[in-house]
Amino acid sequence: MPPAPPTPHAPPPPDAPESDVPSAAHPRSKARHDAQDAFFGYYPGPVAVVTARHGDAVNVMSAGWHAALSAAPPLYGVAIAPERHTHALVAAAGAFAVHFLPIERADAVQGAGVLSGADVPDKLAALNLAWREGDHGLPILEDAYLAYACTVRERHPAGDHDWFVGDVTGVYADADAYPDRLLDAAVASPAIYYGRSRYEGLGHGPVRTFDVDALRALGRGATDDEGGAA
C-alpha cells in the first residue's frame, strides 16, 4: 500500500529524539562559514574510485566530486586536479572508469585518495584491488558493485580541477546487488563519506518510499491555487 501524501514536516520515526528533527518552529541552526575555509565540500555522499590506463601505466584515485550528467546520451563527469597522477593518464588515454565500492572496501576508497601513483608504482596491488580489463583496456575493479567505462568527450577547467565529461560506453553492475535495477543495500552497502576519513555504510537507517502520483497531485493543486504554472 503506497504511503499517504507527504506533509511539509513529516513526523520523526518513533525512536528519533525530538531535538534532532527540524521543524518550522525549531529549524536546524546553521553557522555561516567563509567559502574558502576548510569546511567547504563536507557533505555526505559516495566517493567514486576512478581508474585510468595509458600504455603500461595503470592507476586508481578517489574522486569526491562526480555526477551523472545526461541519460541520452549517457554522460558521466568527474573532477580531477591537474596535479593528480591520474589526470595525465586520463588526458593521454582519453578514457576513464568510475567505480562505486561497498563499505567493506572503504579502506581502498580512502587509500586511493591518500596514496599517489607517482610514489607507489602499483596502487591497485598496494590496495588489494583486483581488476579485469574492460572497455578501452580500462581496469574494472572486481570489488565494485557498479562501474562506468567512459571515453572523454569534453574537458573543462573548473577552478583548481578539470571537469572531464565522459561518454559512458559500458556499465558493469553486480547482478546480485541490483534486483530489478534497484540497489539492494543488504548485498552492497555503499560507502558514504562524511569527511575527515570517516565513512558509513548506507542502508541501515529508515527507508522512505513516496507515492509519485500523490506528489504530482500536490503539484497540480499548487498550479490551480496560483492560477498558473508552479
Q: Which of the 8 DSSP states describes residue 156? A: E
- pTM here? 0.81
Q: Is 139 left (phi over 0), alpha (psi -120 to 50) or beta?
A: beta
Cell for 58?
595503470
Read off the pLDDT of residues 112-171 as tens digits, 9 standing for 90 and up: 999 999 999 899 999 999 999 999 999 999 999 999 999 999 999 999 999 999 999 999
Cβ contact 85:117 at 8 Å: yes
Task: Work out the mean pLDDT of the chain and round it to a whole number.
Answer: 86
Where do the domains of the chain lie, and which CATH numbers do they carry?
45-201 (2.30.110.10)
Read off the pLDDT of residues 19-62 as tens digits, 9 standing for 90 and up: 334 445 557 777 777 877 766 777 799 999 999 999 999 999 99
* Cα torsion through 171, 174, 180, 183, rounded to 10: -100
